[in-house]
Amino acid sequence: MIDETHAADRTSWIASANGHATFPIQNLPLGVFSPQGGAARGGIAIGESIFDIGAALEADLFSGAAREAAEAASGRTLNPLLEAGPAARQALRRRVGEILDAKGAGIAKIRAISRLVHDASGCVMQLPAAIGDFTDFFAGIHHAHTAGMINRPDNPLMPNYKYVPVAYHSRASSVRTGGGLVRRPNGQRKLPEQDAPDFGPCRNLDYELELGVWIGPGNELGSPIPIAEASRHIAGFCLLNDWSARDIQAWESQPLGPFLSKSLSTFVSPWIVTSEALAPFRMAQPPRPAGDPAPLPHLNDVADQARGCFGIDFQVLLLTPRMRAAGAAPHVLSRANASMLYWTAAQMVAHHTSNGCDLRPGDLFGSGTVSGTVPGSEGCLLEMTRGGRNPVSLPGGETRTYLMDGDEVIFRGTARRDGYASIGFGECRGTIGEALALG
């Protein structure tokens, strides 16, 4: 629902929020942070600051449903708030918007409250929720087709792709907030000319640009979520980097699929951009190409097809050690948009639970790699270099087929629509570290 919280002319008494490209007052994403010398707690991004939900509770700035929601969001994880559902998030969003509004009542008193806001640069971001399960989908059809052309040129898409939101269960324990090191993993690799595999550091380390989906209220085991209700079970979204060891993946994915090539680490941006904040940026799911089958009934809902897609622009940037040493800016490798996904987030939820599987608050989905159809819209180096055959040219004469030690990958995402303030996801960063020690 679009309401007063989305008004483009709304401003905040926190000056850095006004005109902020990522966290204006129209966004108010949820996260968990640790201020300097303090314990982890729930917060909301506003400009270059973080609004401390617990401090606002202590100052008695909430009442009624908003207070209940704030209490659920003030702890070391946001799971209690995610479980509470959309009404609780909406109540919290509205009240925090009132507190931070430049035209709100009692601004002088609110601004005088110490510890109500923290300088974001002095805080450490934590995972916003305790993740019970992580499911990675394959909803980027252009990525699926291009990767298929590299590996199976005569049959790039499997027959089930346009009927099933294909996915696999990945490893929740290795999900981290971005900003740290990704150690180059070891694994079994087999070159075409080798008779048998060997074991050693990954040679073909890659990133995958994905949209992360945070689950809100769950469902009971044996109770599928109907497609018409699925969006109510989605609390919000983030950026997700599904680090991928391509040479290990190629060998181990026969026949069951990715395992150690994917569980090495997954990075997410630390803020949950809520479904409520993204309401103005919903759009119709692009029509399927002529000849494609219509979604089966358990995945087909008129409202979801009309509003289940999002207009979110993505960027992938690379900063190499040489560029860093020269003081150069990160180089934009590619741009894509969430509308390029073949399946909606609601379809993922509905299909995931269609066999009675239960989801829990704080579960995480990855959309699968978001890619387009033209050069410069690829969501990973596998596509961009056509499996390492066509190196990417970088400023200063460098090239890449896959990632090298010291390379930093940066994801950015922004939702845009005429007549509304743009909102962003922040960054999802990760730097490639040296290989894990053998033995």
Handedness of CA 361, 362, 366, 367 (dihedral sign): positive
Q: How far apart are CA 53 and CA 88, in angstroms?
A: 14
Amino acid symbol at 280:
P
* Among the listed residues 320, 309, 321, the one whose alpha carbon sits nearest the alpha carbon of residue 346: 309
Two structure tokens written together for 423: 């909102």
Partnered with residue 189 across adjacent β-strands are 198
The catalytic residue among 6, 20, 118, 143 is 143
Two structure tokens written together for 208: 């995958």
Cβ–Cβ under 8 Å, residues 271 and 29 = yes
How far CA 385 is from CA of 146, 185, 388, 402, in Å, comes to 11, 21, 5, 8
Two structure tokens written together for 327: 């003081």
Cβ–Cβ under 8 Å, residues 71 and 92 = no
Active site residue 143: yes
Place of tokens 């190499």: 320
Q: Which residues are catalytic?
A: 143
